[in-house]
Amino acid sequence: MLGKPRFSEYKTMDVTSILADLNDAQRQAVTSEHQELLVLAGAGSGKTRVLVHRMAWLMELSGANYAQILAVTFTNKASREMRERVLSLQGNRDDGARMQPGHSSWIGTFHSLCHRFLRQHHTLTGLNADFQILDGEDQLRLLKRLHKELGIEETELAPALSRWFISRQKDQGLRPHESREKDSDVQPRLIEVYQRYEEICRKSNVIDFGEILLRTCELLEQNPDLLKYYQNRFEHILVDEFQDTNDVQHRWIKLLHHPKHTLTLVGDDDQSIYGWRGARVEHIRQFNRDFPEGEIIRLEQNYRSTQVILEAANHIIGHNQDRLGKNLWTAGAKGEPIQVYGGFNEVDEARFVASHIERLQQENINYDEIAILYRSNAQSRVLEDALIQKNVPYKIYGGVRFFERAEIKSALAYLRLICSRDDDAALDRIINFPTRGIGDKTLDLIRQIMRDRGISMWKACCILIESKELAGRSHSSLNQFFNLLDNLEEECKGKSLDRQIEITLQRSGLLTAYQSERGEKAQTRIENLQELVSAGKAHEQEFYSDVTNETDHAFEALRNFLDDVGLEFSENEKDSRTTVQLMTMHAAKGLEFAVVYLTGMENGLFPSAASIQDPIKMEEERRLCYVGITRARQKLVMTYAEQRRIYGEYRMHTRSKFLNELPDGYIEEIRLNGTLRRPVSWNSQSSISFERPNYHDSDLEINQDPESSTPEFRVGQTVHHEIFGEGMIIAKEGRGERARLQIRFKRVGDKWLLAGVAPLKASPVFSN
């Protein structure tokens, strides 16, 4: 149970903004007295809302300030939204407990938070201050080189498989020797690659995404004082989408949670969709074992979708065996039937979607309220073509992400080298791009020196220049490249971030190289590079406007920017307000839209070919379908193509078994000629029998604190408040000083107040 509250000194202790707009179960969760709390609930039931309100509630109650909160969200976008929502719940107060904008609050994704932690404590980890993050592509390039060095043929072991293996090991928190101990059947070659990969990363002062988390855990485990500091510091830890945490993330949360502090986890086992990336839904299941005193609260009212959409989701997920089991109900409208369209091929399917969206404009549905979801990124191209033809603006969320586009990565490589010359991945990318006469022979020589001496690529270049071993032209090319980077660094020093980027684009020759190419593609690349300058400007405004003289490091803003873009997994939010959103079903987790298209509903695509024969994978696919369906608020449209071109070949497909799992009578089939087949006896007014589960009043009771001197108020009692005047108590939760009272004031309407501190007196008269 929580200790005695340390109420802050608000005259009215008005917590209306925090407790209003919640249902009983949500309010029970927000105000739970338990140290550890798990909110286990279906899609759209307000888990994220509860998390945000609980954060505000706990800050209010404990007087904790933003620096004492650790909140983990699934995307960077969600963390920004959370900050904004907590700020608005806290109203306009201006005291120490208030959340403050900027980058000091510990609200973020697992990766962004652990990365920040490593930056702060890099000296303890053996990393240099300017360590860099390897993304998936850098990792693959490094592994290709490494396979070559170890004499591993592609047919024996593909670099992509090594990358997958290493990531899975790190997700489980396993180092090479532990992987071997855990699974004696694992291919010895894989362990050898993993081991050598680690050595190279250490020498090059780089870490990959998985390493960020694993290194953080190890650092805390090996430094008890540091662990103690953070355990004491984070009074409240909150985690959204808990069902998708992997072992090492779970380990980190458990490490940081001090038994005297609070831990709030929210999740839905039916939405666990990252098993393939090491997430383990067991973490939800073992909550009681981890925290025997913890409380589990279930929310079952859905506020997002129509009855039809919800019933469809419930029906489909009901086919899974491996569930904790729960049902969602809604008090909302029945809504329209689910539309299903079968195209004869993927082009026809895409045209249908584009025309359908065009028609929606007559219903005044904004583009940004529409999402097209697909199972695989490759599906987007045909959909994009159809949208372009119909002049429908769209944006790909998480597809070829902005920061992963070739030209952007090259520009970032130059910027990374300004910060650290020892960044091998960056140097490897642009040492001869744009072409500057540093040929394959020179590069082979450089790599040889790197390997022999165990040094960075940059240092190997230095040795080569000093030894004057290279032929005249190669020598001067390499020398000029060195000068180029030195000049860049010199020129950028002290400039604003956008100016640094501009200078880099010009001096590196990148802009000129693309300008000399013709065609639309080159033009797009130039536009993207210009967009990078804007991104730099926006970054500086967001993070550095209120931070003055925080550091005298000339490239602090640049480094911070590079870190941020390195961690930006799935978000390119430019213009998202006025465009249709295209994304994979995985990327749509946690989001909601008025209209959702689930495309490619075909066996072999969704569910994927790999999962059809495997019952465990099949259940994960079905959960993904559940996630997709529950993103929709008002309209759900599902489409499939009878033939689809995959890898250049047409394949015949049958419609997805998930379509057959939809409840009878909820589907409206749209035929090729545009006719509709409505379900028999469809009546949008008729109601489907949704049972509201019974919550008992006793569920909401909280034990009375025997030391409390607060008078017990009752529902129906009239009271007088120093500021709000006369009112009547219309609801009460809890007892004693922690009791929450909902009071209907004559003058100011309904308010929630805390009995323990609100200046309230029982009043004898209440006149209407």
**Strand ranges of the sheet holding 236-239, from the earlier edge strand across to the other edge:** 106-108, 69-72, 236-239, 262-267, 36-41, 295-299
Q: How far is the CB of 256 from ligand ATP (least distance, A)?
A: 23
Q: Per DSSP, what are the bridge partners of residue 731? A: 742
Q: How far is the CB of 63 from Mg ion (least distance, A)?
A: 27
Which residues in 235-294 contact ligand ATP (CB under 6 A)? 268, 271
The region of 41-49, 75-83, 156-164, 642-650 touching ligand ATP under the rule CB under 6 A is 41-49
Closest CA to 299 of 52, 554, 27: 27
Q: Is the CB of residue 49 less than 8 Å from the CB of residue 26?
A: yes
Instruction: Pick the binder of ligand ATP from 34, 49, 170, 559 (CB under 6 A).
Output: 49
| Annotated catalytic residue within 215, 631, 732, 738 | 631
* Inter-CA distances, 466 with 207, 437, 479, 632, Å: 30, 18, 10, 64
Q: How far is the CB of 47 from Mg ion (least distance, A)?
A: 5
Nearer to ligand ATP by C-beta: 47 or 409? 47
The region of 40-48, 353-361, 650-658, 676-684 touching ligand ATP under the rule CB under 6 A is 40-48
Hey, is 616 helix, strand or coil?
helix
With CB cut-offs between 5 and 8 Å by kind, which of Mg ion, ligand ATP, none does residue 142 bind?
A: none
The region of 37-45, 109-117, 439-447, 684-692 touching ligand ATP under the rule CB under 6 A is 37-45
Q: Is the CB of residue 186 less than 8 Å from the CB of residue 142?
A: no
The region that residue 597 occupies, defined by phi over 0 for left and psi between -120 and 50 for alpha, beta otherwise, is beta
Return the residue nearest ligand ATP (CB atom).
Answer: 46
CB atoms within 10 A of CB 400: 12
| Annotated catalytic residue within 135, 208, 235, 240 | 240
At residue 603, what is the residue type? Answer: N
Q: How far is the CB of 48 from ligand ATP (least distance, A)?
A: 3
Instruction: Pick the binder of ligand ATP from 45, 105, 262, 599 (CB under 6 A).
Output: 45
Instruction: Pick the binder of Mg ion from 35, 48, 105, 410 (CB under 5 A).
Output: 48
Beta strand 106-108 with 295-299: parallel, antiparallel or unpaired? unpaired
Closest CA to 507 of 489, 524, 531: 489
- H/E run at residue 538: helix 520-544
Work out whether 628 is an interface residue with ligand ATP (CB under 6 A): no
Nearer to Mg ion by C-beta: 267 or 566? 267
Work out whether 590 is an interface residue with Mg ion (CB under 5 A): yes
Q: How many residues bind Mg ion (CB under 5 A)?
A: 3
Return the residue nearest Mg ion (CB atom).
Answer: 48
Q: How far is the CB of 265 from Mg ion (least distance, A)?
A: 12
DSSP state of 602: B
Does 486 qualify as catalytic in the annotation?
no
Closest CA to 132 of 483, 606, 466, 567: 567
Nearer to ligand ATP by C-beta: 41 or 382? 41
Task: Give per-residue burial for 46-60: e unless 16+ CB within 10 Å, then b.
Answer: bbbbbbbbbbbbbbb
Q: Using CB atoms within 10 A of its CB, is residue 246 exposed (0-12), middle (13-18) or buried (19+)?
A: buried
Q: How far is the CB of 651 from ligand ATP (least distance, A)?
A: 33
Q: How far is the CB of 55 from ligand ATP (least distance, A)?
A: 13
Q: How far is the CB of 42 from ligand ATP (least distance, A)?
A: 7
| Annotated catalytic residue within 31, 35, 48, 132 | 48
CB atoms within 10 A of CB 483: 9
Does 240 qualify as catalytic in the annotation?
yes
Q: How far is the CB of 401 from Mg ion (least distance, A)?
A: 22
Instruction: Pick the binder of ligand ATP from 83, 170, 280, 304 (CB under 6 A).
Output: 304
Does 631 qualify as catalytic in the annotation?
yes
CA atoms within a 13 Å half-sphere pointing along the CA-CB vector of 730: 11
Q: Per DSSP, what are the bridge partners of residue 373? A: 583, 598
Work out whether 433 is an interface residue with ligand ATP (CB under 6 A): no
Which residues in 678-737 contact ligand ATP (CB under 6 A)? none
- H/E run at residue 166: helix 159-171
With the C-alpha atoms ordered 338, 344, 346, 352, is the resulting torsion angle positive or negative? negative
Which residues in 28-47 contact Mg ion (CB under 5 A)? 47
The region of 18-26, 129-137, 275-283, 453-461 touching ligand ATP under the rule CB under 6 A is 18-26
Does 633 qualify as catalytic in the annotation?
no
Nearer to Mg ion by C-beta: 588 or 605? 588
DSSP secondary structure, 374-407, as one string: ESSGGGHHHHHHHHHHTT--EEESSSS-GGGSHH
Nearer to Mg ion by C-beta: 48 or 380? 48
* Residue numbers annotated as active site: 47-48, 240-241, 271, 631
Interface residues with Mg ion (CB under 5 A) are 47-48, 590
Interface residues with ligand ATP (CB under 6 A) are 21-23, 26, 41, 43-49, 268, 271, 303-304, 590, 592, 630
